[in-house]
Homo-oligomer: A and B are copies of this chain.
Amino acid sequence: MPPLFTPLVQSLPSSVPFVGPEALERRTGTRIRARIGANESVFGPSPAVVAAMREAAPEVWQYCDPENHAFRFALARHLGVSPSNVMVGEGIDGLLGLAIRLFVKPGVSVATSQGAYPTFSFHVHGFGGRLVTTPYVNDHEDPSSLLDLALREDARVIYFANPDNPMGSWWDAATIEKMIAALPDDALLVLDEAYGEFAPEGTLPRLDVTKPNVLRFRTFSKAYGMAGMRLGYCIGHADVISAFDKIRNHFGITRMGQIAGVAALADQNHLRSVVARVETARGQIAAIARENGLTPLPSATNFVTIDCGRDGEYAKRILDALVANGVFVRMPGIAPLNRCIRITAGMPEDLAVLAEELPRALQAAG
């Protein structure tokens, strides 16, 4: 008898939802001409980040500082909180896995919205949590439905993204603050703010690290243009933040990433310029959508979700035709969200490819 996986591992699906553009290229044999599907920042990292990484390259023989001291202190200063309120991890994805592990033993209920971030659900299943869901309402994750669901199902963790992925929708800070105030005391709100830098003023609630049942997740993968360096962080009560130390991979962040993160924070001009370019690109994507008779949804993120006006199969045919012609885009996985395709802010040349290929894709989709 070979060694046995745990019963939980045996119960998990072998197929995984993570298909990158490189895999698409390998499978289709088509070179991607416009990489506007993964909500990366085509505008890249700050030149100061590139310079810092180049300088640090010969020093990668050294392990990272397992306490992430310099990076965490720089983040804390930037955020106006104490370093004890900040935890760094291998992307928000890595931190979400750890957060689930901290709070979810097998069988515990976890609440999210149908069609919300799949990686969160992946981790919930991975630790044996019982995922319960409620639909989006008018293309928004719905705070009151989620709270009702959590109460009804005794959920101990609630996922909520503001702004939302994959729909690009958002709520104002007052709504989120009301949601936080109404949280059951024994439930943790996982507030995913990966796209927060792109949102209008007044979207993100003020940081309040006195509440042990709110963790806010942010990243260098979006506005900072460093998805490939795996730098996520979360902000919360010191007692919750310090618990990550009990279970995390202490040397999981690269030394290069720590250095790059500090350099990125120091160049807020670059961040502002990216946010402005994203806003322009969103307008261009919306215009291309409208020219083709489709409906762009409002967005507070670095992507535009486009309502294709029919069902998921139709949107999928459009997406497949785009991908087959080198335009890497993605779409929501679940109805009714999957009537849409999701397009990341691109360079003018990326959007020129989109403008050229979208009419053909619509024709191919019939």
Q: Which residues of A contact B (CB under 8 A)?
A: 1-9, 12-14, 16, 18-20, 22-23, 26, 35, 38, 40-45, 49-50, 53-54, 57-67, 69, 90-91, 93-94, 97, 101-105, 126, 156-157, 185-188, 212-213, 221, 225-230, 237, 239, 242-243, 245-247, 249-257, 260
Contacts and interface: CB of A to CB of B under 8 A. Distances in A.
Given A13-B246, A16-B250, A250-B18, A60 B260 contact: yes
Contact of A254 (B45, B97, B228): B228
A19 B251 CA distance: 11
Nearest to A104: B6
A213 to B, nearest CB: 5
Query: What are the 8 tightest A-B residue pairs by CB atom distance, in nearest-first order?
Result: A228-B255, A2-B212, A60-B228, A22-B65, A18-B250, A3-B188, A61-B225, A18-B66
A202 to B, nearest CB: 28
B254 A229 contact: yes
Contact of A20 (B14, B26, B67, B228): B67
Contact of A257 (B101, B126, B254): B254
Given A6-B103, A50-B58, 5 more contacts: A2-B239, A3-B103, A54-B57, A61-B225, A93-B251
B91 A252 contact: yes
B102 A5 contact: yes
Contacts of A188: 3
Contact of A226 (B2, B13, B60, B242): B60
Contacts of A186: 1-4
A23 B242 contact: no
Contact of A3 (B50, B91, B212, B254): B212
Given A6-B104, A6-B105, A228 B59 contact: yes
Contact of A247 (B12, B213, B245): B12
A91 B18 CA distance: 21
Contact of A65 (B23, B35, B157): B23
A102 B9 contact: yes
A27 to B, nearest CB: 11
Interface centre among A8, A94, A250 (most CB of B within 10 A): A250
A216 to B, nearest CB: 15
Contact of A62 (B1, B26, B228): B228
Contacts of A65: 20, 22-23
Contacts of A6: 101-105
Contacts of A93: 249-252
A276 B206 CA distance: 57
Nearest to A94: B249
Contacts of A50: 57-58
B228 A64 contact: yes
A91 B59 CA distance: 17
Contact of A243 (B9, B42, B58): B9
A308 B63 CA distance: 27
A49 to B, nearest CB: 8
Contact of A63 (B60, B227, B260): B227
Contacts of A260: 60
- Chain B CB within 10 Å — which of A9, A239, A255 has the most? A9
A347 to B, nearest CB: 11
Contacts of A3: 103, 156-157, 185-188, 212-213
